[in-house]
A and B are shown apart, each in its own frame.
Chain A
Amino acid sequence: MTTDVSKQGATPRPSMRQRIRNSDVWWSFTHSKSAIVAAVILAVLVLAAVFAPLIAPQNPYDAAQLDMWKAELPPMWEQGGEWPYLLGTDTQGRDMLSAILYGTRISIVIGLASVALSLVIGMTAGLCAGFFGGYIDNILMRLGDITLSIPTILIAILVSTVVRQLLPADLREIGAAAVLVLAIALSSWVQYARTVRAQTIVERSKEYVQAARLLKVPSRRILAYHILPNTLTPVLVAATLNFGMAILTEATLSFLGIGMPPGQPSLGTLIRIGNQFLFSGSWWIVLFPVIQLCLLVVVVNILGDWLRDVLNPKLR
């Protein structure tokens, strides 16, 4: 207890544990089969992706490790399959399992980064709009309306095309991931902004906020210590569900050829490459990345739905 009081001048925060009411969430987690299964699968997928360099038989980015003689090998259990190419190889002799593990890594990183960026944009916009009201509110929320009236994919295409044109040619490969993150974030911040704004308006009029105002606590601190923590619960749920969406959007963009380049394939890029061989009989080149993508998005969504049910007191 002395630790948080010792920060003199700073307004204290309650402990993280209390904030998410851990015990309630944990209890309901241990009583939901689908949540447990989804969490286990997600944990396996994430761990495999994180430790891809240790697990994968091959580094798919390293051209020297690719063997053209091993191109288009079918999965192990099919006739002609070969160890260690468990899920077969693509037309360049790239091991599919390795490509998928590394691709999942890229997809997850881009998904997380874009959710984080859109959270920052959306929550800042929502807090300012709700707290200050007036024309700030009007401008921010009309911007949000405009964003929502354009389909997500279109915004992402617009942003990534524009930024790509602005970037010098030698940076394009490197910047591809950053462009994707920016594009997805700019197309998905509105939901957070609206949620946070609504909650901020509710909290702002509560008397504890007015008590803080009477003490002339600066707006910045009122927002950070009083209002923000009370908006986190709905935002957490939205962010989980949007993480799944972000991975899908990234895959779509990469599939359309405006996402990750073939040299650093994400799951979407792999699907795009594999798609060309679907009818030539090399089904494994496309099927396994598709399965991996679906699995990833489905378990994330199951967890998001479960979290929403747990944290929404109206449904309990």
Chain B
Amino acid sequence: METLPATWDMYDLFQSFLRTPTYHLIVEVCLVLLIIKLIFSKSYKPEKTVLSEKEKDELIAEWTPEPLVPDIPEDHPIIKLMEKNIVTGPPGKYINIRNKSCINMATMNFLGMISNKTIEEEAVRCIKKYGVGSCGPRGFYGTMDVHLELESHLAKFMNCEEAIIYSYGFATISSAIPAYSKRGDIIYCDEGVSFAIQKGLAASRSEIRFFKHNDTEDLERLLIEQQQKDKKNPKKAKVTRRFIVIEGLYLNYGDICPLPKIVELKWKYKVRIFMEESFSFGVLGSSGKGVTEYYGIDIDEIDLIAASLENAISSIGGFCVGKKYVIDHQRLSGLGYCFSASQPPLLAAAATQALGILEKDPGLVTQLKENCLRVHEGLNKIEGVQIVGLPFSPVKHIRLVEPSDDRDLDIQTLELVADRSIENGVACTVARYLEKEEKFLPPPSIRIAVNCQLNSTEIDRVVTVLNDSFNQVFSL
């Protein structure tokens, strides 16, 4: 190897120059030329349009925004109906609409907790002690002893380590999902899930894969698909969390999720389960603990259970239960928990009281089940409609057997039926959806909610009235 000599001068330089091979020189010269060309050539600039101030002003003046909201006429059918069906008094077993007392087959007061005297007394006691509002989020003096009591009571009732309460049912699951599932994670979700879950999914920004309603084969197909993708990219698979999001009892279908099979898939494909039990809590299982109790599945198999307190418990709010390490995370990451005022103490106390009643008297749940079966049997006799939902489900949908192609027309038909039955003393409602926003819009239906306090004469009356109303409308 040649090293630089100590006395390096022009002569040596010239000598080494002469010794270099010709091709080397040619390459060097070419490189130098190229650099010179690059330096002096004009760089490419896309033509930039510079607008003058005048042009800018013109653009601003020309721009006309769309109206903030589309014009809704004052006599929009929904608004008209809302004003017509204004409720007075407590919406208990009987509900006062149009100055008429109707049997209530529309509100989710499954266990008859509304107008329960002990609950009302408890609420009054609470107002006398705490006032109405809590005036702060949980973090800043908004945690009252009644909240802690409700949380521990819920955890005990559900045999879970920890419970967390939210001040609104809708905010519960829609805050819980994005607390865990982030961008890049995968959520497998049933097509039949409620709107609150759909909003939670959107807020999480995760990858959402819908499987057909209650179709575990379809779910497994998606899971296998993912397994194959994972094999190709194991690095990514290692950090991608996966969740199955299901409902216990589907509001939109009145049926129950096939939990045993889903739990099996959970362990087979290593996916966590989040279950929303708004309509099964207090309804299913021998003591009203929900779907897990119904199937006899250990509650620890489900990673997170969320439910609202607005149905069977008849208060306002929601809760999540699960293992401590799961639930505690929401205390700092659940948006609707951290950044919202806490639940008004009177509503928390009412919920605790209702939970106590349910605990003391599991007969309510049995009674509800009996009523559901009886209502189901009765409704099945009506001609021209089909009853969607399990016989023991307190939520049932009455759909037309032969729907027309026009959704609006069907809704109008059902609306007429509902209207007639109110006139005859039975309050029921057409299930309402935001048609443009639902991912998978269920067919139009009249939604029936069953109350455990109904006796057999009342149920017979309901069936007769509905039957007559349908017959009348069909014969129009």
A and B found bound together: no
Residues of A bordering B, CB below 8 Å: none
Residues of B bordering A, CB below 8 Å: none
